[in-house]
């Protein structure tokens, strides 16, 4: 970390508000003199036959080479003949766990002021296997796949995460009383605790519960995440989507993507820069003078970003 050689990382600005909040990250990284050199990749406008999606092969190669990156939200264009962008990334890069820390921000009051938990979502199977078919007319079937291998892999990661982040407990979230076989298999591998600290769970529950957790602390504008992939790949991204309702209006809260970039810096063990940026974001929100509209303020994305840079 002390070397002057910049570290290469892949950046997907993404769709909708993605480019605006990615700009915010680039500005803050410049101001903080973070030794990162971005390799920027945009979602293509035609299907790349090598990925069967609008993601280019070169962009996936960039992540595979750099092993680290930051991703803005991606809206999947509706239509046939291509795969969802997010699904393509997960499958092609083997992104098996999505880590979503969620903690109350000092100075920003919500109904709950002491939330501090981490959800770890199994990212490759469960209800998201994409295996659906019609059994007979009027009856369709969607297969929920749970395998021993993927359950064990995400459970091991959850305990690894807990140990390396000073967390005390890992809880498995399940409905094994109803789904005895699938959730039962998941539970058998991770059964334990009482207190919520780190929560590990199958794909669909992860989607729902982490969005609920975001609601506890002030909404989707605030919650970061990091995808962990095979061979040590880390691709950080905000939990939220492309927010088409506010895209291009300089209204988006860049906090979630900024905190995701902080997670990326921690993964790279650039802890000084990570702390500096993290503290500047929290100070800006706590001061209350510059807050975006989703937090009840009137600041634009760019004003908030400037305030964070000034607080570095």
**Stretch binding ligand NAD (CB under 6 A), from 137-145, 187-195, 233-241, 275-283:** 233-241
Write the CB contacts of 47 (distance below 8 Å, at least 6 apart in sequence): 53, 54, 81, 82
Residue 44 or 241: the one with the smaller Cβ distance to ligand NAD is 241
Is 245 a binding residue for ligand NAD by CB under 6 A? The answer is yes
Write the CB contacts of 177 (distance below 8 Å, at least 6 apart in sequence): none
Instruction: Give CA separation, 175 vs 119, 189, 197, 201, 276, in Å.
Output: 16, 14, 19, 10, 41
Tokens found for residue 217: 């602390």
- Please state, in angstroms and rounded to a whole number, the distance separating the CA atoms of residues 224 and 239: 6
**Nearest by Cα to 93 from 124, 129, 53:** 124
Inter-residue long-range contacts of 145-148, CB under 8 Å, 24+ positions, other chains counted: 145/182, 146/181, 146/182, 146/183, 146/185, 146/186, 146/202, 148/185, 148/189
Among 97, 187, 252, 308, indicate the residue that binds ligand NAD (CB under 6 A).
Answer: 252
Residues 283-312 that bind ligand NAD (CB under 6 A): 294
Among 193, 241, 283, 303, indicate the residue that binds ligand NAD (CB under 6 A).
Answer: 241
- Please state, in angstroms and rounded to a whole number, the distance separating the CA atoms of residues 161 and 190: 14
Q: CA torsion sign, 12 to 13 to 18 to 21?
A: positive
Among 236, 243, 265, 270, indicate the residue that binds ligand NAD (CB under 6 A).
Answer: 243
Is 220 a binding residue for ligand NAD by CB under 6 A? The answer is yes
> How many residues in the shown chain lie near ligand NAD by CB under 6 A?
20
Residue 14 or 202: the one with the smaller Cβ distance to ligand NAD is 14
Which of helix, strand or coil describes residue 114?
coil
Residues 169-198 that bind ligand NAD (CB under 6 A): none
Looking at beta carbons, which residue is closest to ligand NAD?
241
- Please state, in angstroms and rounded to a whole number, the distance separating the CA atoms of residues 151 and 154: 5
Is 240 a binding residue for ligand NAD by CB under 6 A? The answer is yes
Least CB distance from residue 199 to ligand NAD, whole Å? 19
Is 78 a binding residue for ligand NAD by CB under 6 A? The answer is no
Residues 80-119 that bind ligand NAD (CB under 6 A): 86
- Strands 116-122, 95-103: pairing kind: antiparallel
Is 74 a binding residue for ligand NAD by CB under 6 A? The answer is yes
Least CB distance from residue 96 to ligand NAD, whole Å? 16
x-marked contacts with ligand NAD along 20-59 as a string, rule CB under 6 A: ----------------------------------------
x-marked contacts with ligand NAD along 262-281 as a string, rule CB under 6 A: --------------------
What residue ranges bind ligand NAD (CB under 6 A)? Answer: 17, 73-76, 86, 220-221, 237, 240-246, 252-253, 256, 294
């Amino acid at each position: 970390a002390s070397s002057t050689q910049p570290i290469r990382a892949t950046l997907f600005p993404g769709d909708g508000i993605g480019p605006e909040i990615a700009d915010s990250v680039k500005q803050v990284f410049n101001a903080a003199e973070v030794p990162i050199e971005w390799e920027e990749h945009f979602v293509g406008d035609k299907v790349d036959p090598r990925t069967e999606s609008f993601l280019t092969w070169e962009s996936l190669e960039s992540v595979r080479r750099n092993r680290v990156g930051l991703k803005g939200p991606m809206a999947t264009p509706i239509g046939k003949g291509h795969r969802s962008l997010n699904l393509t990334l997960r499958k092609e890069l083997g992104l098996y766990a999505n880590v979503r820390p969620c903690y109350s921000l000092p100075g920003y009051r919500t109904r709950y002021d002491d939330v501090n938990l981490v959800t770890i979502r199994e990212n490759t199977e469960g209800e998201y296997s994409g295996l659906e078919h019609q059994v007979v007319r009027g009856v369709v079937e969607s297969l929920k796949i749970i395998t021993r291998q993927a359950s064990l892999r995400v459970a091991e990661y959850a305990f690894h995460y807990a140990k390396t982040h000073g967390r005390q407990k890992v809880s498995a979230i399940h409905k094994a009383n109803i789904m005895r076989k699938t959730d039962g298999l998941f539970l058998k591998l991770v059964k334990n605790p009482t207190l919520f600290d780190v929560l590990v769970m199958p794909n669909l529950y992860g989607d729902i519960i982490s969005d609920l957790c975001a609601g506890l602390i002030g909404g989707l504008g605030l919650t970061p995440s990091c995808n962990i992939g095979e061979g040590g790949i880390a691709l950080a991204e905000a939990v939220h989507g492309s927010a088409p309702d506010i895209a291009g209006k300089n209204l988006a809260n860049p906090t979630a993507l900024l905190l995701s970039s902080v997670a990326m810096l921690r993964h790279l063990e650039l802890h000084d820069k990570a702390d500096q940026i993290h503290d500047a974001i929290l100070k800006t929100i706590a001061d209350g003078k510059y807050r975006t509209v989703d937090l009840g303020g009137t600041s634009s994305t760019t004003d908030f970003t400037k305030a964070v840079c000034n607080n570095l």
